[in-house]
Chains A and B, each alone.
Chain A
């Protein structure tokens, strides 16, 4: 389900509002060109939800989101989120799932920039003597013979 030019502009503005850039953390916003291109290319099964979300945002904004002041845009997005919580979850998911796989963002949040496979990860094995109190309390299943 392709987006129109108007929808693209609105989605980009919404994405940049949901996850803005943060210079102190050296992370781009979700409206960054590379991240936004990924968002548009990856809408997938959220297509119908995103079309509907953008229609609702436009209604909430009463104008062109991308040309609004930050305060006006914030008001419109807040109203949309309050009135359409399910669509807001879909919109947030579409934005977040591309934002948090961007190299710059992954580095900034302390992740290795790679897929889980094939290296995998290490976990502490732990000390199972922590179970001693459980062992001491003894059997707890019922006989059913």
Chain B
């Protein structure tokens, strides 16, 4: 058995890193267990000529495709949307686009404003200082004054507009619709020891430059300097409890495949909206027969994935191709509820630049725009570096039938049951997807695009894993309280996207990290009566 620690954090990704850094000042003994390992900058695909090929190999976004030693399988047969993640120090931030919007104030009052789902037990104002702190730690580029948001600071100039941003922005002006340079966790000037972005154009495969704000190079170096211990290649299987119903630590498999018990006074789950319910459900015992922290029967339920619609067009003139961060601008034109659209809540658009030659050819052939045979080269030449696109990120309302359970047969390499997804796109979301396709095509046509393609919902886009251990005041209707502590197990905290009450219609990483910092702040403030 290992030496006991005060706080055991499970998962070294977006939330675990921020939480560890924040509570380091307590000088408690803090340990983080991470199933993956560190990724060296020299390992990232953009170091090599095979950078596009590796997006479907060892840096594939889907763990069932990637099958690296750190990955666990996910049965997603019963879901039209497949999970995208990364297991390692930094978690999903290693492969994310660095697109970094906040939730909007209305996202926390969904029931009050629009009569659907539930309000959060906290509001935008509560999180605002933690958004700001997280932005400072992360280094956010953007442009102040976006009328879609309350005033907020940015650390540095926005990402370059490029030809693509100008093309789409001009079309949006013609339509009279909102657009703005996105907040990006990508520095446009040197920031806190990180070099500025040099437009490698493959943020989604990891940043070889070390510019993109992944938590292995933002929070973790600071946390390690503050004496937090991070132990890699340690896969947690279950949380142990005592007769008082308190967590006593976690069982994990180390890099040699040995099962080890790690005692801890406090356990913090930071494994994302799939990994956290997986471990909690696998921690079922005589005391907690329905899984740990699950008296509400809501662990694993209300899974929200943000269905994406993708619209891509091609232009007569040459644009940016794959150079530069994929996403440069966004639109919140259809974000706030307008019932005349036929649905409640809304979506944002993230406008994206072009594709590399391999993706141009592969997508072009798959979409029927590039033939096999003699016409290949001419068609390729018409599309390559002549495309721009957008994705609509649609708010996914919580529904209990959308859930994570344990697969009765599928197991990972350590014999731990794999998670199983049961998910379908709700009616409101489907109407939103359809609306976003129609408006997206309108934008593309206004911009002068031809050969417009659409996909909805995008299959391999289950990046945003939310809602499976929701927060709330009522223990019958939520898993954790309004500051992240389990209603059932007083020394168990959940700090990742699982605690989202609703999903909003934007990428969640900035909110996940702001929530982790907020819960850490509550943790420190309440340290003397944490279990009361």
Contact = CB atoms under 8 A, between A and B. Distances in A.
Contacts of A123: 160-162, 199, 320, 323-324
A121 B324 contact: yes
A4 B31 CA distance: 51
A36 interface: no
Contacts of B324: 121, 123
Interface stretch (A5-13, A61-69, A95-103): A95-103
B24 interface: no
A14 B47 CA distance: 30
B208 interface: yes
B165 A126 contact: yes
Contact of B377 (A25, A130, A137): A25
Contacts of A116: 46, 51, 200-202, 208
B28 interface: no
Contacts of A130: 161, 166, 169-170, 173
A2 interface: no
Interface in B63-103: 65, 67
B497 to A, nearest CB: 21
Nearest to B188: A125
A98 B56 CA distance: 13
B376 interface: yes
- The residue in B56, B149, B209, B372 that gathers the most chain A C-beta atoms within 10 A of its C-beta is B372
B384 A109 contact: yes
Interface in B140-161: 143, 145, 147-150, 158, 160-161
Given A27-B377, A96-B358, A134-B178, A121 B147 contact: no
Interface in B380-414: 380-381, 384-385
B190 interface: no
Contact of B365 (A89, A117, A125): A89
A72 B371 CA distance: 17
Given A18-B372, A42-B53, A123-B320, A141 B198 contact: no
A126 B161 contact: yes
B59 to A, nearest CB: 11
B158 A128 contact: yes
B46 A117 contact: yes
A99 B49 contact: no
Interface residues of A, number: 59
A145 B376 CA distance: 57
Interface stretch (B104-112, B293-301, B441-449): B104-112
Contacts of B165: 126
Contacts of A144: 104-109, 112-113, 123-124
A127 B150 CA distance: 23
Contact of A133 (B56, B176, B199): B176
Contacts of A20: 373-374, 376
A99 B361 contact: yes
Contact of B373 (A17, A93, A118): A17
Given A96-B362, A126-B162, A120 B198 contact: yes
B409 to A, nearest CB: 20
B336 interface: yes
B4 interface: no
Interface string A10-32: 00000001111010010100000
A122 B48 contact: no
> Main SS of chain B's interface residues?
loop
Interface residues of B, number: 75
A116 B45 CA distance: 9
Contact of A120 (B67, B179, B200, B384): B200
A91 B180 CA distance: 39
A134 B323 CA distance: 26
A1 interface: no
Interface in A104-145: 105-106, 109-111, 114-128, 130-131, 133-135, 137-145
A93 B176 CA distance: 39
A101 B358 contact: yes
A119 to B, nearest CB: 8
Contacts of A141: 104-106, 147-150, 332, 336
B60 interface: yes
B323 A135 contact: no
Contact of B361 (A92, A118, A125, A137): A92
B163 interface: yes
Contact of B362 (A89, A114, A128): A89
Contacts of B109: 144
Contacts of A145: 105, 123, 125
A115 B176 CA distance: 40
A54 interface: no
A55 to B, nearest CB: 19
A92 B200 contact: no
A81 interface: yes
A98 B370 CA distance: 17
A65 B374 CA distance: 17
Contact of B49 (A101, A109, A120): A101
B163 to A, nearest CB: 6
B160 A139 contact: no
B358 A97 contact: yes
A112 to B, nearest CB: 11
B474 interface: no
Nearest to B385: A110
Contact of B199 (A105, A122, A135): A122
18 contacts: A20-B374, A97-B362, A100-B361, A101-B52, A109-B357, A109-B380, A116-B201, A117-B46, A121-B323, A126-B160, A130-B169, A133-B173, A134-B178, A134-B180, A140-B147, A141-B105, A142-B105, A142-B113
Given A120-B199, A144-B123, 10 more contacts: A17-B372, A18-B365, A20-B373, A46-B56, A99-B361, A101-B52, A109-B384, A121-B198, A135-B145, A144-B124
